[in-house]
Amino acid sequence: MSDTKTDMAALRREMVDICRKMNSSGINQGTAGNISVRTDSGFLITPSSLPYDTMQPDDLVEMDFDGTYVGRRPSSEWRFHRDILRERTDINVVLHCHSIYATTLACHHKSIPSFHYMTGIAGGTTVRCAGYATFGTQALSDNALTALKDRTACLLGQHGQISLGKDLESALWMGIEIETLSRMYVQALTLGEPPVLPDDEMERVIGQMRRMSYGNAPDPEGVNDVARPRAAV
């Protein structure tokens, strides 16, 4: 990402837009959520205790990985934002919220199993639930990093969810999908613990998802009946 003044101004505007989309999508309420985005010199993070409806681009906080910042006081969860961005060079955005159904599962310390193939969107056969730790602490950050190993989302015990992305839109998409998946799982549990898909099937699912993410057809290799552009007449 370029760290020029023009690009930073555009990035700040996009962050505010995504924050407001968190509210309009229903995955965030009040001042509970927070977002960070990697920059060339560190990262931008939402400030502490400022409603998204009134937040402006200049309110976003510039932080370095040593914990120093410029401007408003950063979100109390800055530690896991910093640690995830520092550890996970494959992503650029960390999104955290207390979406209702994901938090419902997190309150019971329940990971999401492969009861539905879409569990694979986070990169594995489960969406793990991290152990509880007090908000804003290094212990919470450590627990989140463990739950996010080889994953792009996790639940936080008795707290909420974290979703990762290469950009702001993909992180928001992941957060909404994790909440949708959580809602389906909570509703499925009313009929009893649902069956789970076997690991070998989930490996096929995750493989197809990866191929689709690179713009390729989801059909398995060797299958002749594939979608293809119609030849020009």
- How many angstroms separate the Cα of 40 from the Cα of each of 4, 44, 50, 184? 9, 10, 25, 39
Strands 153-156 and 160-165, sheet pairing = antiparallel
Q: What is the full DSSP assignment across 173-189? A: HHHHHHHHHHHHHHHHH
The answer to whether residue 77 is catalytic is: yes
Which candidate in 14, 77, 179, 193 is catalytic? 77
Provide the 8-state DSSP code for 203. H
State the CB neighbour count (10 A cutoff) for residue 104: 16
* Distance of alpha carbon 150 from alpha carbon 29, whole angstroms: 29
Helix 100-107, helix 168-189: angle, nearest 10: 60
Instruction: List, by residue number, the catalytic residues.
Output: 77
